[in-house]
Amino acid sequence: MPKGQHPVTFSDISENALSVLRRLNSKGYDAYLVGGCIRDKLMGKTPKDFDIATNATPEQIKACFRNCRLIGRRFRLAHIVFGKDIIEVATFRGHHGDVSENDEENKVQVKSRRGKDVEDVLAKQDQQGQLLRDNVFGTIDEDAERRDFTFNAMYFSAKDQSIIDFAHGIESIQNKKIELIGDPATRFREDPVRMIRAIRFSAKLGMSISDELGAQFKELGHLLANIPPARLFEEVLKLFISGSGVKTFQLLHKYGLFTHLFPQFAPMLVDDTCREMQLVMRVLKNTDERINNEQRVTPAFLYAAFLWYPVEERAQIVMNEAGISYHDAFNIAVGEVLHRQIQRIMIPKRFSIAIREIWQLQTRLPKRFGRRAFQTLSHPRFRAAYDFLLIRGEIEGGDLMELGEWWTEFQELEPEGRKVMLNKLRKESGPSKKRRFPRKKKSD
């Protein structure tokens, strides 16, 4: 599609991405914008991320840019760093030849940091067909065949501003239908994350999923357990922090993929009316609204919601089995539930600490006598815990709803008004029971 027959122009592309394209071209390499930025513009959306594909190898890319760093072992990529803006550059991928048939390893002699020749694995697959290493480089035609979806196999050239559409991606966009390149079973086995990427694109772009793809989700969803937890954390972020969290969750649940991401929570989602389902839908709806209003959100809040009822259930089991207090059982349950979850999806420490604090404050919010209410109010995680309490109160009602209303009023008052509320609460609860000790008898 030559210039003028498509809507993509230089004004739609970031200056940093354009400078990378032009530098690679000036050094004699072919370089193209590829994937999502082109797809989004053709669908009338504003492109945000600009990825580049080139025939230059990672080492050749690094030689062109002082601000370049090479990352990854499974997929070697170059990141061109412009402050907070990072332009990702990938070398055209090639075919693996007989690696998929014999589970062999392609190797190449490369220089180590010490200057010695060592063997580096270029491509490797496991017995299930999943790509463990994918650094076989090829031509642009081969790279297009290696792309996942047809609308991601479109390349924009900065030389003449044309778009090359290798796999009829335009038709996929016009028909609003997710189309996979190649045999679905083979491509999903190569990289199971493609299944949840299909879900994300369907929810985000309003595109339909064929019955053939849906059947593969249910048959091959268990392969998500083979994906490194760190990679799944990044992919799950894209699922739920995109402004289409509700639709995304509904699709994940429909096709049975949610259970492979949150195996402790999914069995609790028995129907649309259960409190667990209501909590997820309420939290995701609020998250979507905040994102679409350009307000901040934190993954910690979502994980706290997804794992709250498993923590409650586990705490009750531990308390009954071990005969310990609910407080101790609750702390044990928090540790166990988080430990099991990070076996599937890694949760960085900065978020796991926040999750723990949101949960622990749920047990502190009912304790309001003396100075406890003021201490809780000044806690850095109070606002998130309070919001979580309100959502729980809306779903479960009763004492939780009354407690949420109390904290709402308490925050809005001046210090004197807060003291009045605490005095009223103390009177309503009756006189405190003081522990009485027997008097010692006076010696004769």
Q: Which residues sit opposite 52 in a β-bridge?
A: 33, 89
Q: CA-CA distance, 186 to 5, in Å (whole number)?
A: 35
| Of 323, 339, 383, nearest in space to 357 by CA | 383
Packed helices 398-412 and 382-396: angle between N→C axes, nearest 10 degrees: 140
286 near 391, Cβ under 8 Å? yes
| Of 317, 211, 215, 220, nearest in space to 264 by CA | 317
User: Which residues are CB-neighbours of 414 under 8 A, at least 6 positions away?
Assistant: none
DSSP code of residue 268: G
Query: Which stretch of DSSP H or E encloses residue 105?
Result: none
The residues annotated as belonging to the active site are: 49, 51, 148
Q: CA-CA distance, 169 to 165, in Å (whole number)?
A: 6
| Of 14, 40, 12, nearest in space to 152 by CA | 40
Cα dihedral angle (134, 135, 136, 138), rounded to 10 degrees?
Answer: 110
Return the exposure string of 261-284: e unless at least 16 CB atoms fall within 10 Å of the residue's CB, then b. Answer: bbebbbebbeeeeeebbbbbbbbb
